[in-house]
Each structure stands twice: as C-alpha cells, then as structure tokens.
Amino acid sequence: MMRPLLSYFPVVVLVLLLTSGGLPIQAQYLASARSLNQQPTRPATAVRVLKDVLNEWGLAFGVNILYEESTIEGLTVSMDAVRQNGKLEQRLDNLLRPFRLTYRKRGKSYLITPVKNLDNARSENTSLPSSPSAESVALQPVNDITQIRSVVPVSTTMPALRPITGRITSETGDGLPGVSVVVKGTTIGTATDGNGMYKLNVPDAQAKGTLVFSFIGYETQEVTLGNQTAISLQLQPTANSINEVVVVGYGTQKRENITGAVSTIEAKVLENRPVTNAVSALQGTAPGLIITRTSGQPGQEGWAAQIRGATSINGDAGNSPLVIVDGVEGDLSLINPNDIANISVLKDAAAAAIYGAKAGGGVILVTTKKGSAQKMRIDYTGLFTFNKPYNQPKLLHSWEQAQLNNVAQFNTNGSYAYSDQQIRWLMDPDTNVVKNSSGGYDYYFDTNQLDILTRKVSPVQNHNVSISGGNDKTQYLFSLGYFDQKGVFNVGPDAAQRYNARLNLNTKLSNKLSIDSRVAYTQARVQAPSINAAGDGGLMYNLYQVRASRNPIFLPGSDDTKYAYVGTTSAAYPVLKDGGYNKSMQHTIEGVFTLRADNLAKGLGLRLVYSPRVQQLNSDLFLRTVPRYVLTSPDPVSGGSINTTNSLQKTRATTVAQNVQALGDYDWKIGDKHNFHLLGGFEFKSYNYNYILAKQTALLSNDLPTLNYSTLATASPANVSDNIQVNTWVSYFGRLTYNYAGKYFLEANLRNDASSRLAPGYQSALFPSASAAWRLSTESWFTNSLPIFTEFKLRGSWGQLGGAQSTNPNLYNYDYQAILLSGNNYPFNNANTPYLYQSTLPSLGKGWEIIETTDIGLDFGLFKNRLTGSFDYYVRNNNNVFIRLNLPATLGVTPSSTNAAALQVKGWDASLGWRDTFKNGNYAINLNVSDNTNKVTRYDGPFAYLEGLNPYLPGLPLNTIYGYKDQGYFTSNEDLQSHAFQNTKTGVGDIKLQDVNGDGKVNAGLGRADDHGDLINLGNTSPRYIFGANFSATWKGFDVSALFQGVGERKMLLFAKALIPFTDSWRMPWAIHEDYWTPDNPNARFPRPYVGATWNTNVSDHWVQNAAYIRLKNLQIGYTIPAQLTQKVNIAKARIFFSGQDIWEKNKMWYKYYDAENPSNASFQYPLFRSYSFGLNITFQ
C-alpha cells in the first residue's frame, strides 16, 4: 500500500533538485533579460550586501562591474542607497562614497578600486577592508581601462574609526537577525547576524551622531553615540502596527488596508506548549474562534473548530472552517506546531468570500516558517511532559457497594442482596473465596481496577529540530519533529506517535523569477484497545461501573494464567492485555510548489501553484479470543469467552488530491492618492479516495492475526468491500481593492465555484462580497479632537459564502443519481441470496447552501498603540440548508435531500490589548470575548418535540433540550398521592416532575408545537460568552506567560442512566452516590437507590447543568541564560522553561466526573489530563 506514496517521490526529488542546485547557476543567464528600469524585489530588510547590489546593477545595466573580493568583503549598504534612480555612474558615486571607493571605466566595464594611498589605513576598518592595488587585479578587461574617476577627494590620511558593538534582542530576549543599524543621515551601516550581534566602525566625525536601530514589526529606536563603544538594545514590537502584513486569501495586505474581520495568531502562542496538535493550541487565542474536544485518548481527542458558531444544521460537516496551509487545503491537526509562522482567522464574508463554496464556516489560514538570508542556524526544542488524569470518579470499596446495594434492594422488594456475614467477608482481606450452598464458589475480594489498570502519571515527550539559513538568492528551512504520548492505561495498547518532516526552500532564478517549494511528510500512529474506551459498554464503563470490585481478575489458584468469569464482571483487564488491538498508521506527503514572476510589467506579478497531496491510512482491528474460567472442583471449567469468534479486519484508504492555481496581481496608482490592486485567479482541484476493507473470521490461530488462514470453508461476501469517491472543482475568482490616501478603502470579491458533487444545472454558484472602511485617525479634525487615538477605523461588509461539507469530502458525492446498495440475506428458493436495492431517492435539485453575512466593525489604538482593540457585530443567514424531505413512510425508501431549511446566527466578538515596557522588561495583556445565538427560522423536514436533545425545531436554537421541571423529591405517600401520575413504580424519594399543563399526568404529549405535554424548554447546548485572556511579561532573562480561556454559559445534558447506580443491577455506585435521598437527607443530589429505577432517568432540569468554566490553559515560566555565558560553548541561545497545560479550572457543574468540554449525553469519557512540562530551547549559530 506504500506504492501510491512511493510513486510521487521521483517528482518531489526532481523539484527539489531543480530548486536547490541547478537553478541558481542559471540565474546569471536569465538575469540578462531584466528590464533596466526595474529593481528586484528584496527581502524585508533595511540593509543590503554591497557585493549583491553591484552584481544586480551589472546585470540590470548590461555591463561588467569588476572588483577584488577582499575590496568589498563584508560591506553593507542601506536600502536608501540601493533605491536610486538615474544613470549608473551617478548611482555608483552615491553608493561607493561612504567606503572611500572609486571606479575605473572603459567601454562596458567598471572596476571598483580603493582611492589611492588609503589601503594601509583601511586594514583597520571593517567597513573599509584592505585590498591590493587595482593593477594587481588579474582581469583582462582592466588592463585597457584608461578613464579614472575618483568618487571622493583624494586624501593621504584616513579618519580615525571607533568600533561599536552590541546585541539586539526581541521582547522575549531572543537575538534578532537582520536588524538595520545605521548612522543617522548617512549610508554607513550594517545588520545584525543570526544571534542579533553587530559590529560597526564609525568615523570620529560621527562621534556626536545617532545610531538608528530598525526592524520590521518593531519600534525603531535611536541612540546618541557620545562616548559609547557598546550599545545593546531590546526592541519592542509595534502593537498592531498599521504596517503589519497580514495573510489573507491568496495574498497579503497591510493591516491598515483590511476591510473585513480578520484575527491573527502569532507563532509564539503555539510554541513551547505540551499540546497534542496545533488545533489544541488555538483554544482561547482569538475572538470568535471556538475550539472544543471530547476526549483525552491519544490520537482520538476529537478536536473540533468553529468560527462564530454554527453555520448549518448538518453537524460538524457544515460548521467546520476551511483550513488553508500555505495557500492550499490542508489538515491543521497534522502540522507540527513548531513549523507554524502565523495564523489568520477569516471570520466574515468580506474576508472569506474569495474561497467561495467551502468558506461558509470561515477560513483558517496557516503559513509555515521559512528560511532567511543569514548563516545557518540550528534550533532545538525539547519537552518532557507528565500527564496526570483528572475528573475520574472515586470508587467505593466492595463492602460499601454491597451496603448501598442492600439499600436499593430493600427499596425494590424489601429484601437484602448481602447478608451481614457476606459484608464481613468483603471487609476481611483474608477471606476472598467462599464455597456456597449449591457447591459453587462466591468471591469476596476488594479489587480496585482503576488503580491496577491506569497510570497516575503518563509520560509524553516532544522533540523538534530545525535548520535554517540562506543568502540573498536561496533560503531554506528543514525541520524534524517527534511526538510520543502514552495514554492512561498501563496495560495493553494505548499510545500515539507523530513524526513530522518539512523542507521549505525558496530560490531566486533572476530578479523577476523565483520558485518556492514546501514539502512536508507526516506519519501518525495510534495504538488503541480493540473496543472503544469511552461510552456505555466501553472500557471506562468496565472500570467505573460494572460489578468488579468484589470479583478477581484472575482465577484464584491459577497463578494469574486464567481469567475469572463471573457473569457481568468487568472485562477491562483481559480486553486490554489479551483482547487484541485497533492500530492505525497514516502517512501524508504533500507539497506546494510556487513559480513566481514579479514585475513583468510595472506592478504586475504572476504565480503558478501546483500542490499534490497523497495520504495513506492503514488500520488493523484484531479481536482476539480470550477464554475465561469458572472456579469449580476439582478443575475450573470454561466460562464466557471474550470475542468467542476471533477476527481480523484490515482497511486501506488512499487519498490523492491535486491543486493547480494560476494567479495574477496588478498594482497601479492614479496620482499620489488613488491606489488600486487587482487579483485574478483560476483554481482546479481533484480528489480521489479509494478505500478497501477485508475481514477474516474464525482465524486458524488466535496468536497469528492474518487474513490467510481461517477454519471456515467459505467466507461471507460482506467480508470484502471497497468505496471509491471522486470529485473535481473548477473555480474562477477575483478581488479588487482601492484606497484613497490611506483613508478610505473599498474591496470587492467574486468567486465562481463549479463542482461535480452536485447535479447538472446546480453545480455552479457565484459568491460575491463587498466591504468598505474609513480610517478616521487619518483625518486632521479627528486627531485634533481626540489626539489619544493612534488608530481608529470603521468597517462594514456584506457577502455570500457556500456550505460544501468541507470536513468530509466523501459525503454526498453524486447523490443526484440513484445509488444501489448490496445485501446478502434476501430469502429466495429457501436460501439467503445476495441482492441489490435502492435505499435513498436521488437529490436532483439540491444546490449549495448559501450563507449571507453582514458585519460592522471597529478597530482602534490609543496611546501610540499601547492600547488596541476591535469590535464586530454580525448577522448570518443560511436560507438554503439542505435536509431530508418529510414524506410518508409508505414511500418505502429514504426521501431525497433538498434545500428546505434556514438558520440565522447573530453575534459579536471583541478584543482588547495593552502592552508597555518597564526598566529591563515589558508586559502585555490581551483579552478576547465573543457571543452568538442561533435560531432555526425554517425547517420543512420531519421533526417532533421530544424529551432530550432536539437538533432542529423551527423558531428555536439548535440542540434545544426539552425535558420536565424538577420539583424536588416525593417526601411522603401523601405527597405522592396528591401529585399528578408519573409511573406505577414511583415512590417516596423519587424525583417529582411538574405537571405543567395540569392534566393530572406527567408525559410528553403528542410531540407537537401545540402539544408537547409537560415538556419545557431547558436551554440549548450552544456555548455563550467564549473568552480568552493572555498575560505575558519579560524581565532581564526571565519570562512568564499565562493563558486563561473558558465559557460563560453552556447547558450540558447528563446521561442519567450512567449516573444513577442500579438502573441495571450490575451498575455499581461511586462515592458521590452516597448522597442519596432519605428523610434525614431531603436535599440530596441523587434519588433513593432502587434496582431498575429508570423512571428517575427522565430528562429534567435535575440532569441539566451549567457547564460554564474558566481554565488556566497554559502557564509558562522561562529563563534565558545570558548570551555571554552560552557563547563560550558556541551556543547562541539557551532557555529553560516550565510549561503547564490545563493545570487548573473552576466550573459550575455539580457533577464533577465530566469535563465542562464534554458533549451532552456523554458517558464514561476517557479522562483529560493536566500536563506538566519541562523544556529546553537551544539555538546554535
């Protein structure tokens, strides 16, 4: 099954060879075609290497510029000196003057030489290196050069120079590479190296001058030289700088130009955290972004994301955001968090409409890191984590369970389940097996399987190494990541591993052409037990509730070689240790290759993108027979085996996706104030999914899981099946932006998506958007009236997006055709015969769901952007939700789907941040909060008002809970007789439910809007007031950060049958169940114990709790060892840190054995963890 993957490696290798080795060699020939009037696009740095500038000018002007390497080695020039206009001679004059250099010219050749008599003095200056005389340059064109031009007056003495050194660091203490260090008013300057170090020789004439330190995204600082020879600084980030570049759909924009609702998440939010994947690190980081999970099981946490709540009633498939990684669709859960450079969250239609039919749930744009023009840098991050499970129930001793069982049995029929003697045996550690009156044996153990089978602490380790660097032409980043997590079980398979590898390589072919290659490989392994861990009947149920404590795991006297069988006893241990496994391994290799042509004409750039993605998922499920035994005399006999018939099931799923994009960008101006940008693009996507299942039962050997050997003569046809899904997309899109003098902004987007997933005539749809913004802070009347505002921008947008079930591309493919299914048991000629049948009518008229969004917003900054914030209010209408039609059951098949429902969402989100500095440090506080409500405004499918969760009822929110009103407990027989009838077995101590309609009976009526009996609306499960709060500070080498997140209100419906003991006779109580109703405990949490009391499990507000919570999501404390110490051992940076994840929370739930993030009706969930990590960051350079 690896063949599909391996077949793509030659293509990848060829692309990498082209981008790394051969292309730079060809650049000198391609460069000759460059326009003389165009300067190449440069990296975002304020200084350039002189040698590179001379080479580019030579190519641009079609001349030979010659020099001795030692003459200009190490020299750098400011971008102002590079961005000159005019003739070449004039440019060279200005460029060479600060370095006391001149040139000789003959024909089309220029020789760069030092001014005469300055060579000796120059040997002491890093900015003016010594060089041999011009006559010694062994280049043939130089011998005939006769014209000599001196750029500066010739002097016989060299000005004295003063060396200035120092280190420039970021707000976190990291060295900043590429910081521009320039003597103000001159072109004398340099740039910091990869560790933030710099050295600059300044002439004495500039002794009273000023050094200017600048770097993109940071505040520029100026320092007067005076008598200083060492100047080190910590630059501070520009708070939400209007010049910050933000990644948007198919491009980037300055923050000041953005007219839609876009939130950004920096890489540092994801770094150094003990998270299982990148999705988990996003919780609480951006307003309107809702991240949830359902489990702590390794590899199966069930992470999900929503942006601004629900967009459809079709579950996660219609509500999940589109994830774009480096410009193409990707999977956020597979990305190494350490590889992420930044994330943009597109929340409204103006920002997301460029992605059309798949953007209904919003868009998450992920950009991975890349190399920079610096010497090679090696970064290592290691985390060693200790996971401690929490919210596990406190189990009772076996005799305590027996005593409660007696209470329940007496309430049921007046008898007792255990005698006093039996309880004494349970309490006696020396009495475990007693022969009963019928000749069998009874067990009286006190076994806590939770202690035996689960870890108190589960280890996790995470290691990441990246190598990056490059020069002006080629930049590279290569990274490796390893993640290994052990689960809560210490017996059997329960673990997950992930391996990540990435190579991002960017190469300039010429001053116009470049190619960007990004290749990633991920291997994800999950080892799980052969049965589900969570849910009623799963492993946690076997640990927590099944009658297990009084029974042994192994048969007494068997030396732990035979498992004991005692009816409904726990099967957890034998299933985990010997019951088989459910293992999966997923290989994903993907690439994004971009050929870019810049400045083909003034303001015109083109991009051609090709992205292949191959994913292979291999899963093996082995159900191994585990014999169990009953203790008899003289020898034990076989009891009920686990997996009586063993089996092996293998599935192989291969996914191949391809994406081709052709994009064009054009910028132009009219005058100085009218600025336009036009984006146009074409995109083609193909998707191919091939799934194969093979199963074998009754294996010949219980210890040889293979499909080859079976004891059966023939196998069922259902043991082999496949599933093939194919779809394609063709899209055209465009965006036009306009701004007037940086004050007024307009933007329009239009995309047309056509897909083979829908019926002819409905395959294509247009998705438009329009938005506008006004920066009042650029108006003089505003700044004069409110000078405290640095930024103040009003925004408004409208647009339409599509709902295309983006999370599962295998749903609804070609359902406009009649699809046949197969069966095997049709009775014909006295035999079961295979047959074909149609189960669902085709959906001939189904179209895309259309989500229309209106948004108004405000962005502001005060006190030089130390205080920043934003606010948005939005209304979103999906008037085209597709659902199953409501047709009579006599139809005989499932009705077709059509667009026959509507959903409206209203909400707001806000953020507020403050950052400032203090002596030797800085701090920042950022808050975000969001809220939304939804309502089903139309639903033409079948529905009824039912007890419990109602997914969609017209006029009500999604997942509205209908149940009964709890009025406490029945306290006496008189109370029982005077109340409305509930159940024939209802008694004193049971839950009393209100007779809302006063008809003398408590029931659910006819399930209609006008008659749902005594059911009332108990709320809905949608979270309200989602918030996050982040604090960070640095002082000298210390840093600390804390991230809190939570939900202000959320209703959770508890699964009462799993909460109440003895609803089945084998469901045992926990410590919490000792708080049950008695006349002396009338306000108890649980009703009276009763065997089989299912009537107390009726949905009521007794079983609905507020799952509001606040959680310390991450706490990080670190210390960076001083550079002067680490550099002695060739380490540029070393930081040690502690990082805690989910280490504290407070919630409003009375039932503490579920987490506030668990879904409603959850039962016996795999526990979540508190994570305590110790880590190390090391940089070599």
For 634, counting Cβ atoms within 10 Å of its Cβ (0-12 exposed, 13-18 middle, 19+ buried), the class is: exposed
In this prediction, residue 148 has a pLDDT band, given cuts at 50, 70 and 90, of very low
Q: In what order do the strands lie in the sheet with 197-203?
A: 197-203, 161-169, 233-234
- Tell me how many helices (H) and strands (E) the chain has: 19, 58
Q: Identify whether the C-beta of residue 965 lies closer than 8 Å to the C-beta of residue 1101.
A: yes
Residue 119: what pLDDT? 39
Query: Hey, how many other C-beta atoms are within 10 angstroms of the C-beta on 168?
Result: 26
Give the single-character DSSP code of 761.
T
- 384-420, pLDDT tens digit by residue? 999 999 989 999 999 999 999 999 999 999 999 999 9
Residue 458: what pLDDT? 96
- 441-477, pLDDT tens digit by residue? 999 999 999 999 999 999 999 999 999 999 989 999 9
In this prediction, residue 1116 has a pLDDT band, given cuts at 50, 70 and 90, of very high
Write down the residue that tokens 């405000």 correspond to. Answer: 858
Residue 220: what pLDDT? 82
Nearest Cα neighbor of 310 from 1086, 1060, 1128, 956 is 956
Residue 318: what pLDDT? 62
Q: In Å, how far are 608, 664, 737 from 596, measured between CA atoms?
A: 7, 10, 21
Nearest Cα neighbor of 1140 from 272, 454, 268 is 272
- 63-103, pLDDT tens digit by residue? 778 776 667 776 888 777 777 777 788 888 888 887 878 88
Residue 46: what pLDDT? 56
- H helix intervals, 475-555: 539-544
Is the pLDDT reported for residue 128 higher than 80? Answer: no
Higher pLDDT, 999 or 38: 999
CA atoms within 13 Å, Cβ hemisphere of 39: 15
Q: Calculate mean pLDDT across residues 868-883.
A: 93
User: Cα(130)–Cα(127) distance, rounded to whole angstroms?
Assistant: 10
User: Cα(104)–Cα(169) distance, rounded to whole angstroms?
Assistant: 42
Q: Which two tokens stand for residue 405?
A: 């069982």
Peptide bond preceding 634: is omega within 30 degrees of 0, i.e. cis?
A: yes
Q: Percent of the chain beyond pLDDT 90?
A: 62
Q: In what helix (H) or strand (E) does residue 528 lie, and over which residues does it extend? A: strand 513-528
34-149 CATH fold: Phage tail protein beta-alpha-beta fold (3.55.50)
Rounded CA Rg of the chain: 36
* Coarse DSSP helix, strand, coil percentages of the chain, rounded to the nearest 5 percent: 15, 45, 40
Q: Calculate mean pLDDT across residues 831-852.
A: 86
Q: Identify whether the C-beta of residue 670 lies closer than 8 Å to the C-beta of residue 700.
A: no
* Residue extents of the structural domains in the chain: 34-149, 161-234, 245-384, 396-447
Higher pLDDT, 198 or 611: 611
Residue 957: what pLDDT? 96
In this prediction, residue 775 has a pLDDT band, given cuts at 50, 70 and 90, of very high
Q: Percent of the chain beyond pLDDT 70?
A: 90
**Whole-prediction pTM:** 0.82
Q: Identify whether the C-beta of residue 970 lies closer than 8 Å to the C-beta of residue 992.
A: yes
| Per-residue exposure over 862-889, b if at least 16 CB sit within 10 Å of its own CB, e if not | beebbbbbbebebebbbebbbbbbeeee
Give the single-character DSSP code of 1073.
G
- 585-623, pLDDT tens digit by residue? 999 999 999 999 999 999 999 999 999 999 999 999 999
Q: How high is the mean pLDDT of the chain?
A: 86
Q: Identify whether the C-beta of residue 1111 lies closer than 8 Å to the C-beta of residue 1140.
A: no
User: Cα(1173)–Cα(183) distance, rounded to whole angstroms?
Assistant: 45
Q: Identify whether the C-beta of residue 352 lies closer than 8 Å to the C-beta of residue 359.
A: yes
Residue 587: what pLDDT? 98
Q: Which two tokens stand for residue 487?
A: 């689960």
- 685-705, pLDDT tens digit by residue? 999 999 999 999 999 999 999
Nearest Cα neighbor of 597 from 144, 19, 34 is 34
- 785-827, pLDDT tens digit by residue? 999 999 999 999 999 999 875 567 887 788 888 888 888 777 8
245-384 CATH fold: Ferric Hydroxamate Uptake Protein; Chain A, domain 1 (2.170.130)
Query: Which are the contacts of 634, defined by CB distance < 8 A and separation ≥ 6?
Result: none
Most confident of 13-22, 171-180, 221-230: 221-230
Q: Which CATH class for the 161-234 domain?
A: mainly beta
In this prediction, residue 129 has a pLDDT band, given cuts at 50, 70 and 90, of very low
